[in-house]
Amino acid sequence: MRDDVRVTTLPQTDADGAAPALELRRLGLVVHPKREIDGALDRIRAWSAEHGAEVVQIHAGDHERVVADAGDAASCDLVLAIGGDGTTLHALHAAAECDRAVLGIACGSLGALTAVAASELGDALDRVAAGSWTPRRLPGVRLVDGDGTTRVALNDVVVVRQGAGQVAVEIRVDGDVYVRYAGDGIVVATPIGSSAYTLAAGGPILAGSSDGLVVTPIAAHGGCTPPLVVGPGAEVDLHIEPGYGGARLEFDGQIEDEQPTELRLARVEDHATLVALGDAESLIAGLRRRRILIDSPRVLARDDRKRLGDPS
């Protein structure tokens, strides 16, 4: 019989940062809406049958794909995100509300948030059950809108023009005006989010160990509006004038109907938890593997000459 009111807590780490063994009695699934995931599901079901664990599906995002009976994250011992980074973000939001860890499973190439490929699932679950894993605590961006509603994004909060024309943005940091400009919008991102929209908008990447946020104007029209990195305790206030075409809010990549005018943002620590295994790569190493960071052609050409024994 299902016990939907059972509540477990995320185990405390030891002095080395490792987590103790988790008794995996119930696994919660968050799945990609369209990607091929049958292989991952087969491995999860086989592992669960062998170890006497129950599998339920957690509602996260607007996904309608059904692969298991419905359950809630609070009743699960571990949440499994099956798909890619977007699916893992949905799972992290659901799991953060009840302090559960998320194991990101890549059905495709590994991303920034997925820890294992589908083919490695059995071994990964064995390692989590044995305590051979490390909780990777993720910060977020706390967003308070003009109505006082509070939410936390893990990647970024974006304000972008909705149609023709520009939006005007005033950025204040701890009460001081940083800059006022007109352009396409603004991105406020965590270190993980800094390698996504922020990077595309010309902002810096924050290394995974960075303790701040990055604020990046999008296509500012004139003036001097460089991206700004703020410290962990800073408060960023945005005053937005939507302009003729209006503006929209994007919260971790999800487009919202709200037209923002006043936003208050700050970093919040340890908002969500990812399962990290011992051989997990760093944020920067992952960006190089995925060729988001690429060496300059001159350096690559020099490497080719050395490999071919060309002395020139």
Catalytic center residues: 85
Q: Tokens standing for 9?
A: 């807590």
Evaluate whether 275 touches 103 at the Cβ level (below 8 Å). yes
Nearest to 55 by CA among 73, 66, 68, 74: 68
Evaluate whether 217 touches 181 at the Cβ level (below 8 Å). yes
**Cα torsion for 56, 78, 94, 119, to the nearest 10°?**
-80
Nearest to 107 by CA among 136, 126, 135, 87: 87
Helix (H, G, I), strand (E, B) or coil at 304: helix
The residue whose two tokens read 């990964």 is 124
What is the rounded CA–CA span in Å between residue 178 and residue 157? 18
What is the rounded CA–CA span in Å between residue 34 and residue 133? 29
Sign of CA dihedral 34, 40, 46, 52: negative
What is the rounded CA–CA span in Å between residue 41 and residue 311? 53
What is the rounded CA–CA span in Å between residue 97 and residue 307? 52
Evaluate whether 287 touches 281 at the Cβ level (below 8 Å). no
What is the rounded CA–CA span in Å between residue 239 and residue 213? 18
Evaluate whether 119 touches 47 at the Cβ level (below 8 Å). no
